Chain A
Amino acid sequence: MKRRHFLALPALAAVPARAQTGRFQPAQDVGPLVRKLADGMAPAEGGIEVELPQIAENGNSVPMRIRVDSPMSAADHVLAIHIIAERNPRPLVATFHLSAASGKAEVSTRVRLAGTQKVRVLAELSGKRFRIAQRDVLVTSAACLDESL
């Protein structure tokens, strides 16, 4: 019984072990990217609501909803929303362009997250104003595995 047990465990673990090889990469410094997107300005914290699971069951698809406080009027609205994932090989996940015709600064999508990390949301508002928010996500199964059979 002990022997069986001993044999079974490393073998069962082999699937994830194979998948783990070279899977993770360390968080990158996304400061320069944020500065570039924010036109060199320091974005203010807050004013952005980010819905993201604290624990993502699968990094291949993590649901995300972003809501930016804004009257969305012709004079004062959200122009762009960027999603930045510091541990993804390409940290800029997506950019959404909005206008007063959007009516509401709210966007939902599903993102890939290559491991547990901080996800930042940067918003550009009328008059070259920028806001930023960040959320920690624990990813329990990393994305970007090759699972072809």
Chain B
Amino acid sequence: MMIGRIQAPPTVRKGEPFEIKVLVQHPMETGFRRGMNGQSIPMNVVNKLTCTLAGREVFSAELGSGVAANPYLAFFAVATQAGEIVVEWSDDRGETGRLTAAFTLA
């Protein structure tokens, strides 16, 4: 179960940029660490995150091990119609997560 948090205004103005904040629970394992047993912990990071607005992609990110654990991203988007914000991500192991937030136009 992937956990994340999303924050966006419930009501936005058409054509006016608004901020979307996303926080994803993930260790962003670098592959450089070793566990207590001396074995190296394999790299596993959220490598891709995309955000669509009413079906249209507004932002995407390719992340590496240089992004802090439990990655935080904030970015802007412009809406032309009401709908849903969908944020999806996947990690090196192929696990995926999804967050949604609905918004209306003012």
Contacts and interface: CB of A to CB of B under 8 A. Distances in A.
Contact present between A and B (CB < 8 A): yes
Interface of A: 60-62, 72, 83, 85, 88-113, 144, 146, 148
Interface in B34-59: 34-36, 53, 56-59
B77 A148 contact: no
A93 B33 CA distance: 18
7 contacts: A61-B68, A96-B60, A102-B75, A103-B16, A108-B75, A112-B66, A113-B66
B78 A148 contact: no
Interface size grouping (class) on chain B: 20 to 34
B35 A109 contact: no
A88 B66 contact: yes
B68 A94 contact: no
A102 B72 contact: no
B5 to A, nearest CB: 14
A109 B76 contact: no
A99 B57 contact: yes
